Amino acid sequence: MRALPHTLPRALLLAGLLLGTGSAHAADDGLAKEVKHIQTQWETIKFTVPEGDKQTDQMNALGAEADAMAQKYPDQVDALIWDGILTSERASMVNPISALSLAKSARDTLEKAYRMNPTALEAGAPTSLGVLYYRVPGFPVAFGDKAKARKLLEEATKAAPQGLDAWYFYGDFLMSEGEYPKARDAFTHALSIAPHPDRPLWDENRRLVIREKLDKIQAKL
């Protein structure tokens, strides 16, 4: 993997935070199509394009599309969540100063989405915010906050009991805190969730990472 800005580790990205398919809250077919496009392109770039300049360029271009979508639909939670996800993704691909600026922008966008509807897209806003809060460095470098992260991720798993990403990132947080038995339980629950047949690329890659993390946890217990 390529080197990352030391102030913002790569995992700050919602490393594939793909959330649910579509949304009942889409304002109209136009927004639904744009959200689907962003979602599909995100996973294609994330999982099929090797890390490097090509992936960075493509992610930046998609991020610009997500920004435009959010500006076009400023009062639609779907657009805001995906813009926050893309902004977070881009944060891992730039220098430390730009990374922090992008992370703050993602936080602000996701907080707005959270205030609008914390359960939309399988609790996409609290899940995404939780990841930012536990992966971004804390004060005085940045705004990271483990307590806020725990609260948000626990909220996300309650709001989306069948949300693969909510449970994956909750498990990842617990693992990062050394709470291995709880992390194992969260990951095991994530694997018990029915696969998303219309999202095979994301679903397969997410479950692969979960199994790898479970193996690491088993070696520690």
pLDDT, one tens digit per residue, over 59-68 is 999 999 999 9
Is 4 inside any structural domain? Answer: no
Residue 88 lies in a domain: yes
Q: What is the CATH number of the domain that holds 96?
A: 1.25.40.10
Residue 5 lies in a domain: no
Indicate the average pLDDT of the chain: 88
Q: What is the CA radius of gyration of the chain?
A: 16
Confidence class for position 165, pLDDT limits 50, 70, 90 = very high
The model's confidence at residue 23, banded by pLDDT at 50, 70 and 90, is very low
What are 68-77's contacts with CB under 8 Å, separation 24+?
A: 69/31, 69/34, 69/35, 69/38, 70/109, 72/34, 73/27, 73/31, 73/34, 75/116, 76/25, 76/26, 76/27, 76/31, 77/23, 77/25, 77/113, 77/116, 77/117, 77/120, 77/121, 77/125
Assign 42 a pLDDT band (cuts: 50, 70, 90): very high
Nearest Cα residue to 121 out of 59, 164, 69? 164
Average pLDDT in the 171-185 region? 98
On whether the CB atoms of residues 144 and 130 are closer than 8 A, the answer is no
In a domain, residue 95? The reply is yes
In a domain, 92, yes or no: yes
Between these two residues, 109 and 98, which has the higher pLDDT value?
109
Q: Which domain holds residue 161?
A: 10-220
Q: With bands split at pLDDT 50, 70 and 90, how would you rate the model's confidence at 7?
A: very low
d(CA 211, CA 191): 8
What is the pTM assigned to this prediction? 0.86
User: Is position 69 within any domain?
Assistant: yes
Give a yes or no: residue 1 inside a domain: no
Selected residue with higher pLDDT from 111 and 2: 111
Q: Is 32 inside a domain boundary?
A: yes
User: What domain count does the chain have?
Assistant: 1
Question: Average pLDDT in the 34-43 region?
Answer: 94
pLDDT at residue number 184 = 98
**160 neighbors 166 (Cβ within 8 angstroms):** yes
